[in-house]
A and B are shown apart, each in its own frame.
Chain A
Amino acid sequence: MSPTDFILWPVLAALLFFTRKQALMKPLLALTLLLLYNRFCSPGFFDLEIKEGHLYGRLIDILNQGAKVMLLALGMSLVIATGGVDLSVGAIMAVAGAVLAQGVAARGWSPATAITAALGVSALLGLWNGLLVAFLRIQPIVATLILMVAGRGLAMLITDGQIINFENPSLVFLGNGYFLGLPFTLTLVLVMLGLTAFLTRRTALGLFLEATGDNETACRYAGLPARNVKFLTYVFAAFCAGLAGLIATSNIKSADANNIGLYLELDAILAVVVGGAALTGGRFHLLAAMVGALFIQTLTTTLYAANVSADIAPVPKALVIIAVCLLQSPVLRPKLAKLLAKKERPA
């Protein structure tokens, strides 16, 4: 038993016990099971040490590395809640990184200017996505496919096809720094999560989002600005992607337009689905999506801890996708529920 055990398990147990939200229950349970597996099968997984006032260890790595997917999942949750999907977030990450690195390294911008420019460009790309989906009424998969294909080209155009390195300390801090002993990226995620949760759950915006996903036509007849709501979600998703892109770029201190954010759009969608949202829209749960993102990151870290090569890692991931799909299948779900109910009755 280590001090980590005394803190982690009671917290998880308390969360599982006290959560009244069905949506949060399942991803939390999945995460707990995965962590339990690691507790017994991956020695050293829970080791934490304090160096120079900072916490280090695999758990901290999961939080730090998971920050990107968590940010993407925030934006993706809202997009999926309206019944859409955004395939372009990975490419937008690459564009944001390219703008940041090019601005600082080649143009000599200050970090603040470069960050503002990168986030601004990301939001502009989201504007484009939103325009196509909400106002030109193009299917989301198709509309965002355009940027997914062209976005990386755009990023390479900005960096001139080079991998641009930078050493600016403020920018390096963004992805590698520590705040209050924890990775700074975590602070960023918490701030964004708090902001999003406030905007969607303390204002009517969340209701609008779910209503739009449920039935857009009915929504418009009821006088809700369904199109504007849809439009905004894409801008927001792109903004989150921009932030994630800044972190990814800062992590490796360079902009690599080919690889930054590659396949992360799929991880983000997966995180939201593990978090219990249906791809058909109509509901979202931010915390559950965050837990979903942590689950995926923990899975990746578990595989690395078990010395599974990065090339083969997609296989277990695929099995998770299929399992999650099956658990949420409209055909299988009632049967499973019946099966569980039968088992409980004799007791």
Chain B
Amino acid sequence: MKRPDPRLLPTLASLGVLLLLFGLGCLRFPDLLSPRVILNLFGDNSCLGVAAIGATFVILSGGIDLSVGAVVAFTGILVASLLGHGVPPLAAFALALLVGTLFGTLMGWLIQTFELPAFLVTLGGMFLARGLAFIIHPQSIAIEHAFYADTLPGFSLHIGSTTNAAGRAIPLLLPFTAVCLGAATLIGTLLARSTAFGRDIYAIGSSESSARLMGVPVARTKILVYGLAGFMSAFAGLVDTFYKQSGNPASFVGLELEAIAAAVIGGTLLRGGVGYIPGTLVGVLILGLIQTLVTFQGNLSSWWTKIAIGGLLFVFILLQQVLSKRKA
């Protein structure tokens, strides 16, 4: 039998953790197995998921993006404010995505052209986006647009039906936010595995100087990666407005850390060059499942979520360390 690629091991391990967590959860809370809970697991974590996929690309290229949470909040409040001023939804979405992409590209340009540390530049980006979000509107804005109220629910995927306690059939809907997450994962995976751009990212993450010698357009690719991450953050902001029907400039403080954590738990090496986009989805689902389990348990407080995520991070980082040492 062919042995699996050792680089796949962390991702497989996290898949195992996800199934194990889910199995144990089902033993304790039989309700967890209901299709609705599983569907919501995807729907509730779609914003984090989309943002984490963007962050994964940056990490794969050997960089880091700390501006994710602030850009998501900025996009949310931008869209909510634009819709409030009567801008048609599609134009608002397009503008938000454009702004996010440009923001990311600008950070990438600074990092690449002036050889600045990504850590500091994206930290500046984080402060800037957060402040700008508050300049647009200092409080949360509820979105009351016909598009959100009438059109969006129609985008939910009908994937079957179940019967409730009274024996009446109720449709099972995959929320539109989950559809967005699925699309992002699919397109992200294709982009990473099957395009020259994706291969360039892996090459740069493994060794930038080798990539340059091989003729990989390093500068262009690195700038584009940050642009892509900005686009994904903006898209995550859109997804969040679909989910919450509001925009809030104070939201998503620390989302970037959750996104990085999801990528690491999903098997992406923070050194760059190794990782899988579907792995990040698994990482996001693990984080979401922990949250759900803590909620189901009822008497556990939310801080256990943080401790559990920290613990998992530790285990996976250690696992990566052991694997990369064995290879060396």
Stretch of A46-54, A104-112, A212-220, A320-328 with 4 or more beta carbons under 8 angstroms from chain B: A320-328
Q: Quick check: A331 and B249 within 8 Å, CB to CB? A: no
A43 within 8 A of B: no
The answer to whether the Cβ of B34 comes within 8 Å of any Cβ in the partner chain is no
Chain A residue contacts of B116, Cβ below 8 A: 325-326, 329
Q: Is A313 in contact with B131, judged by CB distance below 8 angstroms?
A: yes
- Please pick, from B124, B131, B305, B307, the residue contacting A154 in the complex, using a CB distance under 8 A: B307
A146 touches B120 (CB 8 A): no
Task: Report if A330-B257 is in contact (Cβ < 8 Å); known contacts: A141-B270, A312-B134.
Answer: no
Q: With A147-B310, A318-B124 given, name 9 new contacts (CB 8 A).
A: A145-B260, A156-B303, A269-B123, A309-B134, A318-B128, A325-B120, A325-B124, A330-B115, A331-B113
- Interface size, A (range): 35 or more
A137, A309, A322, A330: most-surrounded residue (chain B CB, <10 A): A322
A124 lies within 8 A of chain B by Cβ = no
- Note all chain A residues with C-beta closer than 8 A to B64: 141
Give bound CA distance, A17 to B120, whole Å: 31
The residues of A that contact B301 with a CB separation of less than 8 Å are 156, 161
Interface status of A15 (Cβ within 8 A of chain B): no
Please tell me the size bucket of the interface on B: 35 or more
In the assembled complex, B130 has its CB within 8 A of some CB on chain A: yes
Report the minimum CB–CB distance from A23 to chain B (whole Å): 18
Neighbouring A residues of B305 by C-beta, 8 Å: 153
Give the chain B neighbours of A193 by CB distance below 8 A: none
| Least CB distance, B37 to chain A, in whole angstroms | 24
Closest-CB distance, B288 to chain A (whole angstroms):
16
Docked pose: A317 CA to B129 CA in angstroms: 11
Q: Which residues of chain B from 307 to 321 have a CB within 8 Å of any chain A CB?
A: 307, 309-311, 313-314, 317-318, 321
A138 within 8 A of B: yes
Check: A169 CB closer than 8 A to any chain B CB. no
Interface residue ranges of A128-147 to B (CB < 8 Å): 132, 136-139, 141-143, 145-147
**What is the CA–CA distance of A224 and B138 in the complex, to the nearest angstrom?**
54
User: Any chain B CB within 8 A of the CB of A16?
Assistant: no
Chain B residues with CB below 8 A from A25, complex form:
none
* A229 part of interface (Cβ distance < 8 Å): no
What's the least CB distance linking B113 to chain A, in Å? 7
A311 with B138: in contact, given A143-B317, A145-B257 (CB under 8 Å)? yes
Interface assignment of B158: CB less than 8 Å from any CB of chain A: no
Given contacts A142-B264, A331-B113, contact A322 B124 (CB under 8 A): yes
B117 touches A318 (CB 8 A): no
Query: Is the CB of A1 closer than 8 A to any CB of chain B?
Result: no
Does B304 touch A at the CB level, under 8 Å? Answer: yes
B32 at interface, CB cutoff 8 A: no
B304: chain A residues at CB < 8 Å are 153, 157
**Within the assembled complex, what's the spacing in Å between the Cα atoms of A65 and B313?**
34
A138, A150, A312, A322: the one within 8 Å of B131 (CB)? A312
Task: Evaluate contact between B321 and A138: CB separation under 8 angstroms.
Answer: yes
Tell me, yes or no, whether B155 is within 8 Å of chain A by CB: no
Q: Which of B110, B113, B250, B310 contacts A146 (CB 8 A)?
A: B310
Does A93 belong to the interface (CB within 8 Å)?
A: no
Contacting residues, chain B, for A241 (C-beta < 8 A): none
Evaluate whether A148 and B257 lie within 8 angstroms (CB atoms) in the complex, with A279-B119, A325-B121 already known.
Answer: yes
The answer to whether B303 touches A142 (Cβ under 8 A) is no
**Contact A332 B114, beta carbon cutoff 8 Å:** yes
How far apart are B28's CB and chain A's nearest CB, in angstroms? 21
Min C-beta distance of B167 to chain A, whole Å: 42
When C-beta atoms are compared, the residue in chain A nearest to B130 turns out to be A314
Q: Is residue A149 within 8 Å, beta carbon to beta carbon, of the partner chain?
A: yes
Pick the contact of B318: A136, A273, A280 (CB < 8 A).
A136
Q: How far is the CA of A329 from the CA of B109 in the complex (A)?
A: 13
Bound: A55/B290 CA distance, A: 51
* A80 CB, nearest partner CB in chain B, Å: 11
- Decide if B29 is an interface residue (CB 8 Å cutoff): no
Q: Which residues from chain B contact A154 at a C-beta distance below 8 Å?
A: 307
Known: A322-B124, A326-B114, A329-B114. A145 touches B313 (CB 8 A): yes
CB distance from A231 to the nearest CB of B (A): 17
User: Which of chain B's residues has its CB closest to A139's CB?
Assistant: B270
Flag A289-333 by CB within 8 Å of B: 1 or 0 each.
000000000000000000001011111011101100110011110
Contact residues in B for A309 (Cβ distance below 8 Å): 134, 138
CA A24 – CA B244 in complex, angstroms? 49
